Amino acid sequence: MEVAIVGGGLAGMATALRLQAAGLSTVVLESHGHAGGCAGYWRHKGFSFDVGATTLVDFEPGGVGGELLDAVGMAPVTGERLPGYEAWLPDRRVTLHKATRLWHAERLRSFGDDDAHRKFWRLLDELSAVFWRASRNGIRMPVRRPADVFHDLRVVGLRHLPLARHLADTVGGALRRCGLQGDRALRGLLSMLLEDTVHSTVDRAPLINGALGITMRGAGLVRHDGGMHGFWRTLVGHYRGLGGKLRTAAAVSRVDESQCGYRITTRRGVVSARRVVFAVPAPTVARIAPTLPVTRRLRRYVERDREYGGGAIVVFLGVPESEVAGRSFTHHQLLQCYDTRLGDGNNMFISVSAAGDTVSAPAGHRAVMISTHTALRDWSGLDDEQYAQRKKELGERLVSYAHRVYPALGDRAVVFDVGTPRTYERFTLRPGGGVGGAHLTNRNANQFAIPHDLGGRGVWLVGDTTWPGLGTVACALASRLVAEGILRERGRHG
């Protein structure tokens, strides 16, 4: 086997697909019963729930995800193309339109049409236009060699070089410069958008990454037909059609160097490969590959990012259609209180399966996922009773907050279940149940992110603990860089 990929989440499967499509023989070793990881699904009583990601970001033709599908010969995704979603702030409702013209009018109407607000939005618009384009053209970070500098100058464009001055800036810094640090409603909206996309706060989020996160919906969000279940069925079917091998229930316990490359020990036997791609969180690499140089090199990154971890809680509801009737948007973001820290329901995201999507829910029903962030420390050390109590209390809290949008939600639920950091730890083996990679700051993002080629020849890292971070769009971009790197390496060294 030429390449073994450890982990069948989006980053691993996307990398495997690209390599397989380029003519290499690949095998994906996945611990769970099916591919997907944090962008996966689970099925219960005729419903299929998305366990984490509900929307694919920038998967339209020409987008970062669109490029992935195109590169491997897949058709564009089919599903509900979200026209945007609604943000429910404590004192107002803002429609986050996908359409640029509508969004530009809405943001001035909602937060103020004055010089300060116009200046702030102008800056975000400029950064997002330039760096979305650069992402779609395969910008490489962190910069490791002169070739990366030339590549990045080309994809960003020389005339945009002055924007490099924002590399050490934060979203909070930009707000202050525009005199908007006291605009509670704007800060509230930005906080939610940043927490969901770069896992950071307004004052710590790197400005360029933050601008991309805040404008993500403009890049296009799609909920696939059949949700993530539908997506994975198509993607895995295509991979297998190309001759790729996906081995499930094959948790990798150890990776060592061998004469012909790497010896990978799994629950289902040993696999040999010339190259290995670790598509699992960085701390997992350190655990399963103690003898490889990559583990020593990763140590400082893993220690640095320990304080930047975070978890998620998701409520899964299978409900009669009538409980989610009467709204034109299927996705909503809610903030309860401006002065309380985010997470544990204070901010949350509601995603409802599309009408007529009978893979996600039986006819006449809908699958509803409500997610929020949570601090991992609040879930460690609990005994079984304390854990059950906390899980129940948070599940009920999230549903009660969701009543702002859907007053009868959950009254006649066919399914009510709650996923916690323990759930993620059990089903995706994420260390400590931490999801979404590190909270991004100017200390660990971009040039300071974990490089994909840290392991040296034959060893590659991909996934949401490496650059550019969390999300389906980030995994799609990282898979491109890793696949290109492997093909270059193969061209040079065989």
Residues that bind ligand FAD (CB under 6 A): 6-12, 29-32, 37-39, 52-55, 57, 251-252, 279-280, 284, 288, 312, 314, 371, 428-430, 435-436, 463-464, 470-473, 475
Return the closest-CA partner of residue 58 out of 133, 149, 143, 157.
Answer: 133
Return the closest-CA partner of residue 199 out of 279, 94, 311, 87.
Answer: 311
Shortest spacing between CB 21 and ligand FAD, in angstroms = 18
What SS3 state is found at 224? Answer: strand
Shortest spacing between CB 475 and ligand FAD, in angstroms = 5
Q: Which residues pair with 292 in a beta bridge?
A: none
Task: Using only the alpha carbons of the chain, give its radius of gyration.
Answer: 22
Which C-beta is closer to ligand FAD: that of 173 or that of 230? 230
Which C-beta is closer to ligand FAD: that of 52 or that of 172? 52
Strand ranges, E, within 25-83: 26-29, 41-44, 47-50, 56-57, 79-81
Which C-beta is closer to ligand FAD: that of 175 or that of 221? 221
Shortest spacing between CB 280 and ligand FAD, in angstroms = 4
Quickly tell me which residue has 């996923």 as its tokens.
419
Separation between Cα atoms, residue 355 and residue 367, nearest integer Å: 10
Which C-beta is closer to ligand FAD: that of 319 or that of 473? 473
Separation between Cα atoms, residue 379 and residue 337, nearest integer Å: 23
Which C-beta is closer to ligand FAD: that of 66 or that of 471? 471
Which C-beta is closer to ligand FAD: that of 261 or that of 283? 283
Determine contact, residues 166/313, Cβ cutoff 8 Å.
Answer: no
Report residue 329: phi and psi, to 5°. Answer: -105, 145
Shortest spacing between CB 250 and ligand FAD, in angstroms = 6
Shortest spacing between CB 349 and ligand FAD, in angstroms = 7
Shortest spacing between CB 123 and ligand FAD, in angstroms = 24
Separation between Cα atoms, residue 84 and residue 328, nearest integer Å: 10
Return the closest-CA partner of residue 1 out of 324, 261, 344.
Answer: 261
Shortest spacing between CB 479 and ligand FAD, in angstroms = 9
Which C-beta is closer to ligand FAD: that of 84 or that of 463? 463
Separation between Cα atoms, residue 74 and residue 53, nearest integer Å: 21
Shortest spacing between CB 189 and ligand FAD, in angstroms = 17
Separation between Cα atoms, residue 79 and residue 55, nearest integer Å: 10
Which C-beta is closer to ligand FAD: that of 312 or that of 454? 312
Where do the H-state alpha helices sit in 198-267? Answer: 207-214, 216-219, 227-241
Return the closest-CA partner of residue 389 out of 379, 399, 398.
Answer: 379
Tokens of 119: 């200046």
